[in-house]
Structure 1
Amino acid sequence: MSMGPDIAPSPNVSITYCRLCNWLLRAGWMGQELLSTFGAELGSVTLVPDDTGGVFEVRVDGTLIWSRAEQERFPEMKELKQLVRDRIAPGRDLGHVDRKDTTS
């Protein structure tokens, strides 16, 4: 029995990371956090190894939402969750992630 082509349901988050820089653990952790937060809304999270020095990009359905090259840093988990939420579930409250830090 054929189930059709092997295409991940939408939305898909892909995290492209530099394999040479050993950023697999960071990419994996971020993917795990996104799945924990958006498990009901996401179709898949894909980790994409790359040999281009220093690349770290996050895309939602092919649209770039974070690039280490453009931002000159890695995303904080809070901001990554907010960026993903804004794409896949704009009305969703992220609880403590959306609250401002009042300790300063």
Structure 2
Amino acid sequence: MASKPVIEIEYCPKCNWMLRAAYMSQEILSSFTEDIHGVLLIPSEIAGRYTIRIDNKEIFDRKRAGRFPEIKELKQLIRDIVAPEKSLGHSDKTS
């Protein structure tokens, strides 16, 4: 059996983004309890960084996107990689 992926959220502590990272990790853990090994919060040494990775593969970068990810969007990005068959319920509805 393949090992479950680890999701990393690297955030800028100088920008006070730890609470945002903690909130997103809580949402990820509640949606993907069975599908992931865990969520790792990484305080970045690079100012303004907010990057999300799955097993070291970047799936979202705040600077490239010009914004933070929406929770619904983030869950869909994660689901498409770790559990493509999984339904996200109301988070799957298109707006």
Which category describes the TM-score, using the shorter chain as reference length? over 0.9
Map 1:24-103 to 2 at 5 A.
24-101=18-95
Question: What is the alpha-carbon root mean square deviation over aligned residues?
Answer: 0.9
Please, what TM-score do these two structures have when normalized by structure 2? Answer: 0.94
Deviation at 1:31, TM superposition (A): 0.3
Deviation at 1:52, TM superposition (A): 1.0
Deviation at 1:27, TM superposition (A): 0.2
Write 1 or 2 for the structure with the bigger share of helix: 2
Residues 66-93 of structure 1: CA deviation (Å, up to 9, x unaligned): 0001101000000000000001001111
Deviation at 1:100, TM superposition (A): 2.3
Sequence identity (%): 45
Give me the whole-angstrom Cα distance separating, in 1, the residues matched to 2:94 and 2:35. 24
Ranges in structure 2 where 5+ consecutive residues have no aligned partner: none
Give me the whole-angstrom Cα distance separating, in 2, the residues matched to 1:18 and 1:95. 31
Q: Is the 8 A contact 1:10 1:61 kept in 2?
A: no
SS in 2 for 1:48: strand
Give me the whole-angstrom Cα distance separating, in 1, the residues matched to 2:4 and 2:22. 19
Please, what TM-score do these two structures have when normalized by structure 1? Answer: 0.86
Aligned equivalent of 1:23: 17
Larger Rg: 1
